[in-house]
Structure 1
């Protein structure tokens, strides 16, 4: 099969289209013929092995996972002997997590990590949903505890997670303020945001307006600045790092570490969001999609052999919403 492989950390030029053996599913796995895969900021961090501390988990001298990519959508080709609920021919989507492997014609994935594809989405749209959608869902529902009447600010509202977070916050009954650049104002407004802050002109952290939840997806502001946008007992959800452009030992971890140190000392709830692939979260996202409350937004699509160019586009901060790979 064809796949995008990488044998050393580095820029997009280290990625290559190659012929590799088609994987064989283990007893608890399903073999999926990939129809689309999606890019995440995670992918370029993994490609570069950056920040360098992350190499302790990804592989010290070279990527432990040779085939890049996490998010996928496609059709089941075969199943292992212990698989009970998924059948050949099923349309599924999922997130491979740190195992990677989605930028390929076929992928093996544990049954517990795949879910039925939303009936009203194309494979390209479904592939854009797993990691970004779960991040938005957990950040708002589980950590932010967002509900009717709450005021929510989303810093990075035009990004892959942000475009989904705006829609989910509205579905939960919140009043939503989206922070984005001027060129993305119309997009964020079309997703349901009640208020827009163009960060090139205005400062959401000037204390003028305060919110019950601030969901930070960028990591470009200090904790003090983010807290100025909160009500006295509001919640700050940290899932940022998008502004981090690489080349350091620990990257955006400093903001997360400071948040954890400060959290016990202040009235605000300061919570660092962590996510992991989970079928139940995917099922929840599917329910929102099929009910018309959530629709992935796609910026561009690229064929498999142009993954290096797609990641270059994503790294350059030109992308809004999601970038998808077609097979």
Structure 2
């Protein structure tokens, strides 16, 4: 059981620039019945954190976002959609985890990972961390991995399935390449020229440099298109999708959401923006792949919690490759700044 009563957390009180985020002392959450309290060692600063902090919301989704994020000020002032660390305490009734267990977890839209402790339900998306990875590596499985995993669970991907990943070098894109390859797919990755070696090393069979070539202009068609950018609505890519295929909208605006069912019915091609409900089994699958050497961590940069503003600035460039990891220093540990 932890004896700490206060913790350091990265907190924002207003929407806006990276400088709105600052370190503050907060009370350590108390685990309720069925809860797990994690002593966080690492989290990531994701595009989800950027969108929440900056109120950078896809077109038409402002009202919905206000419900989740807050209207005039942030309703969840500690960002961080994932965590890797050690179980510090468990609430009554929890038998699956015990203090000292190494775990990774998705906090999702509840956020909270950018702090020394985070509390979540023991039956949520939490599982034991891979034995083969450090916490800083293991946390990269969560945000991008669980997103790609839950989208792929909605379609049939197997040997010979052709998959196009648009925006292949981000957290979701680098995970999607690896997961599609594990299922036997033939993967085409769309990215900028500087990221070609990265996505090829992850298993992409073909790479399209969008700065030189318009991926929608060629004659190639695909069984599944994964749009991690938000610039491939069904109207643009319908003819690129094979009969019975799918468009997985990792990023979508209100128009795409409202028209997805109609497009699906009319075309016979699945158009979906709904990632579903990630669970522990999704994370456990990613861990098994990592432990067997079939899924690797893709880390752009690592920042200490004290450098949270710089981490947000880097993510704001829109040019991160894979994951930006946030290292939460431990008592007595001496880390250089990243």
**Structure 1 and Structure 2 fold alike (TM over 0.5):** yes
Q: Aligned residue for 2:157?
A: 146
CA contact (8 A) 2:234 2:271 kept: no
1:38 to 29, 40, 44: 44
CA contact (8 A) 1:33 1:105 kept: yes
Compared CA separation, residues 307 and 260, structure 1 to 2 (3 A): farther
63-72 or 261-270, which deviates more:
261-270
Q: Aligned residue for 1:185?
A: 196
Q: TM-score, normalised by structure 1?
A: 0.93
Q: Distance in 2 between matches of 1:171 and 1:64?
A: 39
2:228 to 217, 230, 240: 217
Deviations 1:251-309, CA, capped at 9 Å, x for gaps: x2223323333222113222223243421111111111112211120000111021122
1:4 to 10, 32, 44: 10
Q: TM-score, normalised by structure 2?
A: 0.90
Q: Aligned residue for 2:285?
A: 284
CA contact (8 A) 1:143 1:271 kept: no
Residues 111-190 of structure 1: pairs in structure 2 closer than 5 A? 111-113=122-124, 114-140=126-152, 142-190=153-201
Compared CA separation, residues 81 and 233, structure 1 to 2 (3 A): closer
5-14 or 172-181, which deviates more:
5-14
Q: Distance in 1 between matches of 2:86 and 2:15?
A: 31
- In the TM superposition, residue 210 of structure 1 has moved relative to its aligned partner by 0.8
1:16 to 22, 31, 35: 22
In structure 2, stretches of 5+ residues that fail to align are 1-6, 329-338
1:92 to 103, 116, 120: 103
- In the TM superposition, residue 228 of structure 1 has moved relative to its aligned partner by 2.6
CA root-mean-square deviation: 1.4
Q: Aligned residue for 2:336?
A: none
CA contact (8 A) 1:211 1:229 kept: yes
263-272 or 194-203, which deviates more:
263-272
231-240 or 87-96, which deviates more:
231-240
1:197 to 208, 212, 228: 208
- In the TM superposition, residue 319 of structure 1 has moved relative to its aligned partner by 0.7
Q: Aligned residue for 1:239?
A: 250
Q: Is the counterpart of residue 320 in structure 1 residue 321 in structure 2?
A: yes
Query: How many equivalent pairs are there?
Result: 316
Query: 4+ residue runs of structure 1 moved beyond 4 angstroms?
Result: none
Q: Distance in 1 between matches of 2:166 and 2:150?
A: 16
Deviations 1:171-201, CA, capped at 9 Å, x for gaps: 0011111111000000000001111111111
Q: Distance in 1 between matches of 2:239 and 2:130?
A: 39
- In the TM superposition, residue 97 of structure 1 has moved relative to its aligned partner by 1.8
Q: Distance in 2 between matches of 1:207 and 1:264?
A: 26
Q: Distance in 2 between matches of 1:42 and 1:315?
A: 11
- In the TM superposition, residue 207 of structure 1 has moved relative to its aligned partner by 4.0
